Amino acid sequence: MKKFLITRPTHEIRVTYLFHWGKEILEFAKKKSINFTDFKNGKANRKDVEKYLKKQNPRLVLFNGHGNTSMICGHDDEPLIISNENEDLLNSKITYAIVCDAAKKLGKNAVKKGCDAFIGYEGPFGFVRDASRECNPFKDKFAEPFKEISNIIVTSLLKGDSVEESVEKSKHLTSELIKKYSTSDAEPGFKDIRFWLFWDKFFLNFIGDPTAKF
Amino acid sequence: MVDYEEIKKLVLIRLEAMPPDIKVSIGSEKDLSREELFREVKNETELGKLIIKMQLEYLRSMKKGF
């Protein structure tokens, strides 16, 4: 049975948003009876993640957190995957990293070392928040579209779509949302998030096999 | 050819008009209010320059209908 691993650190507000976005993905995986492992909070650490990747060999890995061109971090910004150190752990896997800049170098290196496909951002990942809703990310209307354009990548993969199809679905949805928020009856504030939706669409990319499937 | 200064001016106008309850989480270090975004662009920090560059891309994409 194919396995799916998700890491969900919670050490600060921005990654806590991603933690909450991940809940919907896990509910979806449960409904589809997909075998998943959720490394949340402090469990999103290097030792546990490395051990799981080596021993359980999940087909799909979703990293939520901070990082840069050469690393993906977990809880308390502990580096989990480092370029030229342990990216070979992503061998034969599909990886999606909601991590700034990681597709730029780390993603490319991971694919060179056997990762089937690496989906990520070639620039800083960004999202808009309603400053008055920080205590309840689920009710944050400005963050909601960003959750949608990111989560659709994972739900598409879990449904059996290819990497290319999943990324295209996200880009298409982003364009549709931008158009929706461009109409004269769009709620105030939503016009301002169009630029940031475009930002994520622009930087979203994948490296590796476009036909790779979960 | 679009003038860099014109784009910068446009970004600053758009940021000024942004509702004050919006915050933009960007990158590992940045979590910016409207005023902070405005300063980043005005002072042409690394992020400010990227925002200006992306505004140009945004306008190009808008012409194509996204």
Write out pLDDT tens, residues A83-113. Answer: 999 999 999 999 999 999 999 999 999 999 9
Chain B nearest-CA residue for A123:
B27
Once rounded to an integer, what is the mean pLDDT over residues A24-51?
98
Total count of domains within chain B:
1
Provide the pLDDT confidence category of residue A150 given band limits of 50, 70 and 90: very high
**pLDDT at res. A76:** 97
**pLDDT at res. A70:** 97
Q: What is the pLDDT of residues A155-193, one digit of tens each?
A: 999 999 999 999 999 999 999 999 999 998 888 889 999
Residue B16 has φ and ψ, to the nearest 5°, of -65, -30
3-class secondary structure per residue, chain B:
CCCHHHHHHHHHHHHHCCCCCEEEEECCCEEECHHHHHHHHHCCCHHHHHHHHHHHHHHHHHHCCC
Residue A127 has φ and ψ, to the nearest 5°, of -150, 160
8 Å CB contact of B24 and A196: yes
Chain A nearest-CA residue for B56:
A195
pTM for the model stands at 0.96
- Chain CA centroid to CA A121, Å: 9
**pLDDT at res. A121:** 98
Burial of A105 (0-12, 13-18, 19+ CB in 10 A): middle
8 Å CB contact of A131 and B33: yes
What is the distance between the terminal CA atoms of chain B, rounded to a whole angstrom? 20
Of the partner residues B21, B28, B33, the one whose CB lies closest to the CB of residue A100: B28
**pLDDT at res. B1:** 59
8 Å CB contact of B31 and A13: yes
**Distance of residue A173 Cα from the nearest chain B Cα, in angstroms:** 11
In chain A, which residues have their Cβ closer than 8 Å to the Cβ of B25?
A: 13-14, 17, 126-129
CA distance A43 to A209: 30
Question: Is pLDDT of A57 > 90?
Answer: yes
Q: What is the pLDDT of residues B5-29, one digit of tens each?
A: 999 999 999 999 998 889 999 987 6
8 Å CB contact of B22 and A202: no
CA distance A106 to A117: 12
Strand partners, A82: A71
Quote the domain boundaries for residue B41: 4-63
Q: What is the pLDDT of residues B38-58, one digit of tens each?
A: 999 999 999 999 999 999 999
**Distance of residue A206 Cα from the nearest chain B Cα, in angstroms:** 19
Size of the A and B interface in Cβ pairs below 8 Å: 71
Q: Which domains does chain A have, with CATH numbers?
A: 3-208 (3.40.50.1460)
Chain A nearest-CA residue for B31:
A14
In chain B, which residues have their Cβ closer than 8 Å to the Cβ of A21?
A: none
Q: Does A85 touch chain B (CB under 8 A)?
A: no
**Dihedral sign (CA A184, A187, A192, A196):** negative
In chain B, which residues have their Cβ closer than 8 Å to the Cβ of A189?
A: 19, 21-22
Does the interface ipTM go beyond 0.90? yes
